[in-house]
Amino acid sequence: MKKLVLAACAAVAAIPPLAGAGEAGEMRKKALVIMLDGFRADAVENADAANLRMLCDGEWQPGYKCAWSLTANNIFDAKTVSGPNHISIATGVTFAKHGVPGNGKDTCDYKKWPSWLVRLVDAKPEMKTLFMYCWDWDRTLCPDPRVRFHGAPDEKNAEKLAAAMAATDAPDAVMWYINGTDSGGHGWGYYPYTTGYFNKIHIFDKAIGKVLNAIASRPAFAEEDWMIVVTSDHGGYHTGHNMKKGSPCTCIPFLVVGRNVTQGRMAGSPRNYDVAPTVLDHFGIDVSGMDLDGRVIGREKAAEEPERALRDGLAAYLPFNDRKLENAVEGGPQPVAVSTNTEIRVDGGFAGGCIRIASDKDGVDGVCLKGSEKLAFENGGEFAFMVWVKTQQTFRGYPAIVSNKDWRSGNNPGFAMNGRDKYVQMNIGVPGGKRFDLRPYDLELGKWTFYAVTRGRDGVVRFYQGGQGGYLYWMAENAPEIALATGMPFCLGQDGTSAWKNGFSGEIDEFALWTRALSHDEVRRIYEEGRKGIELGELLRPTH
């Protein structure tokens, strides 16, 4: 747990008045960077975070838009903890340059890698800067006498910042660190969601709203050009977050609000170290020669996805109704039982029927879609699938739940949504005999659980889980290249070879496969309607 600042230091108990900047007749540049500790990307939608969602929707103030990502990531070359990520957010470089691997001693060479606040006053000495923090470790972050530091508990910081931002002589550039969201996760759990975590998010979302209202109420607001940036240092899993690449701990939100950004979802997966170059660019400072790892973001929107019928690109839909093992998509790949040695019954599913695979440890069972290995996927690798899964026991021997690869090695091309002990995870092969994984999700024994995987034209793979509690979780990873074509069919309860002996035991229902990506809204709609007992088949029907 973090050592927090329990009381404001006497020297900084009150934020002194600060002089404004800018020439008459020009839009005065201003910026507020908010670092939310331990904030999962999916919490923006699922928690009571009305102000963050308002920012995402571009509804803060007239003339202001928001470029947002709910599949951004933190740094991957250090521990997934606050210290190295705070430095990366502030400086725009990763561990490979700042050299701080964890929450121990801050050994960053700030003369070589100064914070964006310091770079700002280097270029524009008239700018007044402020860093507000509540975690004691941050008092050493990017030290410089020209940057005002204010250490106090979260609630006090929020009050003082709202008052300071409403004042005529408000600071020009502020970095505001909020720890409370992380304490909620450590105390009660980030995932599966807990009331304690959600309460903390709600409290500090309201605090953000007060500060935003203070900014908008400024007498000179109409003559100012603000940039508001919101991101996090990490997400979380259970009550911790020390997991690296491709986990619930590394998927975070990133919002860039301003007059000159492009409204909508950002392309790809931004990184939290993109903050520094983005804000410096807002102030008109050239970052090209700074050797930063981050890049300027907020102007490029994800490629427009045309509004399509849900049935477009659907290659296979297996509802398992009426005791039929067949593909409801006419002319599509046909499901075939892998083995006649184990009975696969079609009955009593999540919605209508299901398949029940009763594999033992050495069972070779499941259903494969013959002909699916010949499918052509849009834009060289877009795809999506969804499935509902239920099992009464923990997994043994890494069973493949949905796969089109030779699962004897995770480095083989293709993918495998698989089980491990009491977890569900996703493995994807990439060119060159390599792999990446998205994991883990908790297994809810005896309960139907929704899973979906989609890869869009932006190269981001999103892995979703939705339980009976009504929350849709996700994690994501940037994968510009994947080895999707394997020459093997897509299989349920089995890998692409149909010979994986560590079989899946449980029930599978409502499997569907698309040769295009599904949008986030499509995934959410399928899940939420499914929880009501509405099959995908009902959603596929024409509306006119």
Residues 359, 361, 367, 372: what is their CA dihedral angle, to the nearest 10 degrees?
Answer: 170
Are the C-beta atoms of residues 131 and 118 closer than 8 Å to each other? no
The single residue listed with the structure tokens 């540049």 is: 29
Bridge partner list, 370: 334
pLDDT at 339: 76
The single residue listed with the structure tokens 């190269």 is: 459
The single residue listed with the structure tokens 């792999």 is: 435
User: What is the identity of the amino acid at 509?
Assistant: D
What's the token pair of residue 374? 């010949």
Are the C-beta atoms of residues 424 and 400 closer than 8 Å to each other? no
The pTM assigned to this predicted structure is 0.94
What's the token pair of residue 210? 């007060």
What's the length of the chain? 544
- Name the residue among 434, 398, 432 with its Cα closest to residue 416: 398
Over its length of 544 residues, how does the chain's per-residue pLDDT go in tens digits?
677 765 444 333 344 444 344 444 479 999 999 999 999 999 999 999 999 999 999 999 999 999 999 999 999 999 999 999 999 999 999 999 999 999 999 999 999 999 999 999 999 999 999 999 999 999 999 889 999 999 999 999 999 999 999 999 999 999 999 999 999 999 999 999 999 999 999 999 999 999 999 999 999 999 999 999 999 999 999 999 989 888 999 999 999 999 999 999 998 889 999 999 999 999 999 999 999 999 999 988 766 667 899 999 999 999 998 777 899 999 999 999 987 555 666 777 888 889 888 765 556 789 999 999 999 999 889 999 999 999 999 998 899 999 999 999 999 999 999 999 999 999 999 888 889 999 999 999 999 999 999 999 889 999 999 988 899 999 999 888 888 889 999 999 999 999 998 889 999 999 999 999 999 999 999 999 999 999 999 999 987 5
What's the token pair of residue 421? 């002990």
Are the C-beta atoms of residues 482 and 416 closer than 8 Å to each other? no
The single residue listed with the structure tokens 């009491």 is: 422
Instruction: Report the C-alpha gap between 196 and 186 in whole angstroms.
Output: 10
Instruction: Report the C-alpha gap between 404 and 150 in whole angstroms.
Output: 54
314-540 belongs to which CATH class? mainly beta
The single residue listed with the structure tokens 């700018």 is: 127
Instruction: Report the C-alpha gap between 73 and 294 in whole angstroms.
Output: 12
* CA atoms within a 13 Å half-sphere pointing along the CA-CB vector of 25: 0
- Provide the 8-state DSSP code for 84: H
Angle between helices 195-216 and 180-188 (to 10 degrees): 170
Using DSSP, state whether 139 is helix, strand or coil: helix
Instruction: Report the C-alpha gap between 176 and 232 in whole angstroms.
Output: 11
Residue 408: phi and psi, rounded to 5, are: -65, -20
Q: Which residue ranges make up each domain of the chain?
A: 34-282, 314-540
- Name the residue among 281, 279, 28 with its Cα closest to residue 169: 28
C-alpha to C-alpha distances, 532 to 212, 267, 351, 510, 535, nearest whole angstrom: 38, 33, 9, 14, 9
CATH fold of 34-282: Alkaline Phosphatase, subunit A (3.40.720)
CA dihedral over 292, 296, 302, 303, signed as positive or negative: negative
